Structure 1
């Protein structure tokens, strides 16, 4: 397993984007185009993609449909990215798929060396493995999360029967564009002729682009707040109680064990996507099935409680929009008393923008770094934090284990029962989970 993982990881990393589908299309063609073997629900957006995909999967599995799910990045184990009916692909199946795919990868790499299109990337190989594993299983529906953007994302070699577009905000500007309009155009690229589009409520500029693209491909669009909506939500122990209006009916008394209003809206998109997929949006789902599915949903690393006394939460927010959702959910769902942030970001992210959003929610902040080679240097992050929080509210701890210990001490200082919120990247959430014995996702 380790050798296979290392062989894949040795390729160009997933954040190093070359905007072309040529290589992955070639690979899938020689594999027999497995992505044509089943309908796809394709999920994009700036934040919330993984949670939404996991909710869609839960609904489909409880409806009795063999389902494949592809999400990224993983928290702990690469097999988390390729999931069959709710369970990560086994090590045996992962290795078998790797063995089946790699000879064809070598062929495509050789052709790329000849014509200048280059080698397949880490992400492209994983996408092909996922599509192949789903065809081999076989699955009746694949739930596929975009890696980055949409139009040029490797997953877009599949044609989504349903396209889900979560909230669009600024992120990955180096690759997707520096404006909401440019980013929206990339994400809208997953819409295909004849698909049904389910969209979050968007900024007007984004909504205009989504609707224009849908018109070009002849795809009907349903939007959160216009035909589908969150009718009500109440904070509950361990999550929230929801009533949702879907495409084909109202669904009351749904318990969702995830925190924050944003997760209620992710649940709405998931519900509408499954209604669109199963009955064209004209047939309501069984209420008890929806209740059972949502009650069992998990989304590790997304405002997740990983320890008590003091409370330690991890959240994968890695851009200002994600930080805004985190801050709103903390105010909505938690009473932590003294709240200490533990923040580590990637070097290519808007750390100052993230910290500015987080500042009102944190009494103090401990800045550190993860083991990722992309991690922002601690001194650079500390400078940004001191500019936002002031020197007296910032503690610097170069090593994450020490930072976690220091944050816990600060949270309990003065006899106040406090909490620690570890955030800034997926790596931050994953490594804190590991340190606290939560090594599975």
Structure 2
């Protein structure tokens, strides 16, 4: 391909390849997913993924938060840490970070040209293959000490599954992307467990019993040692508000002495205590999973002998996940990318905890393949009024259909075809004290952009 001169040309070129995240579920067969093209692409680029130590993280929910927490903690020790994530909320560059800083446009343009230079007419990888290659080339060139790599979809056939990790992590698993990953919790867990590697430690978050059984079976079959977070560690939230929370963390083998410590605060024992700027009880589970992963890295000799502080957790930010913003400097707006029934329930618990006595409005938009009916029913338990809208994503569901489902649940609803219209409607609803913008990361990200004064 010809060399591209601007970042806009480069991004257009990247998106000109097949982008399965933009494809309507009815037109994409799961059989098209394969690691063959990403492996070929890596070979053509000199296999940059083999030059750095990687931590590979999969899961339905929480994987981005766990990645952010681990990246922040490792960076706090002075390591150079790459972080590859998806999707982005506002800027494409968000996907590629080193020590919390996004890649610059100039460097991104260079890398896109480098990756596209090995493409020819007979070889057409996917858009996500290309993005993954960009990340791995950048991390290799920057000689990162660690790269924390979040899967895009599933695990077994995800483009990121060409790394040779020193640690794998599987976060909370629930029903999502069923057209591609399967329609049972066991099938989805099996796809996520596809990132496990023989002899490589795996940290497994608290899971649904059927998901856990599937993961443990796979781990045993290939000889991957497992750290079962729920069995190995205790964790407890001890203080929280809408801006953050404090968590106690201890080993289960110390449970008896921990119980005595709770009664008397005896000097002979002190559990780890860390602060999170991430809100919600589910983030406590994510933090415990991240802490378990870091402890395993230390046990395997990848971190210094000095004790882990977990002070870096306080620096972890993950926008669009119970992110609190302001509407015109006054009323509260919470942005959260909850997009399946499980995450909707967790979001509703948090909303009720922090805003239960206030009049709450939900601004909702979903992708067309999601279980909107179940989520709307859950949100209706705390939401007094709804605004149905859509993001600019091609798979966004029709707001009129969303509104019809809201009416089934007996809640008043306004229909706005655009996020700009939804924001105007929020301003008109002066009796609503708190707005929850949710249903899709694309909706949360789009509203975030508007609240920051940026155009979509």
TM over 0.5: yes
Decide which of 249, 271, 279 is 2:291's aligned counterpart.
Answer: 271
1:346 is aligned to: 367
Cα 1:384/1:236, change in 2 over 3 Å: closer
Question: In 2, Cα distance between the equivalents of 1:58 and 1:240?
Answer: 17
1:430 maps to: 445
Match of residue 397, structure 1, among 388, 396, 416: 416
> 1:399 offset after TM fit, Å?
2.5
Task: Provide the TM-score with structure 2 as the length reference.
Answer: 0.88
After TM superposition, the structure 1 = structure 2 runs for residues 36-51 of structure 1, keeping only pairs within 5 Å, are 36-51=50-65
Give the distance between the partners of 2:368 and 2:130, measured in 1 at CA: 25
Counterparts in 2 of 1:285 and 1:12: CA distance versus 1, 3 Å:
farther
Higher mean alpha-carbon deviation, 223-232 vs 6-15, is at 223-232
Listed as ranges, the matches of 1:16-165 within 5 Å are 16=23, 18-106=32-120, 110=122, 112=123, 119-165=124-170
CA gap of 1:233–1:50, structure 2 versus 1, over 3 A, is: same
The answer on whether the counterparts of 1:247 and 1:275 sit within 8 Å (CA) in structure 2 is no
Q: 1:93-151: per-residue Cα shift (whole Å, max 9, x none)?
A: 11111111111123xx51x4xxxxxx211101001111111111011111000000000
CA contact (8 A) 1:160 1:190 kept: no
> How far apart, CA to CA, are the structure 2 residues paired with 1:227 and 1:303?
28
- In the TM superposition, what are the counterparts of 1:190-209 in structure 2 within 5 Å? 190-209=195-214
Q: CA RMSD in A?
A: 2.2
CA distance in 1, matches of 2:97, 2:134: 11
What is the DSSP-based 3-state SS (H/G/I as helix, E as strand, rest coil) of the residue aligned with 1:312? Answer: strand
1:235 touches 1:332 (CA, 8 Å); kept in 2? Answer: no
Q: Distance in 2 between matches of 1:402 and 1:58?
A: 37
- Counterpart for residue 261 of structure 2: none
CA 1:224–1:54 in 2, change beyond 3 Å: closer, same or farther? same
CA contact (8 A) 2:356 2:382 kept: no
Residue by residue over 1:201-242, the C-alpha shift from the partner in whole angstroms, topping out at 9 and shown as x without a partner, is: 111111111101110121111122211231343214621011
SS at 1:156's partner residue?
A: coil
Q: 2:21 matched to 1:6?
A: no
Corresponding position of 1:177 = 182
1:335 to partner: Cα distance: 4.7
Deviation track 1:251-291 (CA, whole Å, cap 9, x = no partner) reads 53321111100011111111111222233289898668422
Any stretches of 5+ residues in structure 1 without a counterpart?
113-118
Change (3 A) 1:104 1:367: same
Residue 261 of structure 1 corresponds to which residue in structure 2?
A: 281
Paired residue secondary structure (1:57): helix
- Residue in 2 that maps onto 1:115: none
SS class of match (1:202): coil
Over 3 Å counting, the alpha-carbon distance change for 1:276 and 1:4 in structure 2 is: same
Give TM-score scaled by structure 1 length: 0.91
Report how far residue 408 of structure 1 moved. 4.3
For residues 338-357 of structure 1, what are the alpha-carbon distances to aligned partners after superposition, in whole Å with 9 as ceiling and x for unaligned? 00000011112111122122
2:59·2:171 contact (CA, 8 Å) conserved in 1?
Answer: yes
2:319 aligned counterpart, secondary structure: coil
- Range with greater deviation from structure 2 (273-282 or 428-437): 273-282
Paired residue secondary structure (1:167): coil
SS of match in other structure, 1:27 = helix
**Residues 223-238 of structure 1 correspond to what in structure 2 (within 5 A)?**
223-236=228-241, 238=243
Distance 1:349 1:87 in 2: 32
Q: Structure 2 residue aligned with 1:303, among 322, 325, 328?
A: 322
Query: 2: distance between equivalents of 1:285 and 1:251?
Result: 18
- Deviations, residues 140-185 of structure 1 (Å, cap 9, x unaligned): 1110000000000000011222111111100000000011111010
Which residue of structure 2 lines up, in the alignment, with residue 361 of structure 1? 382
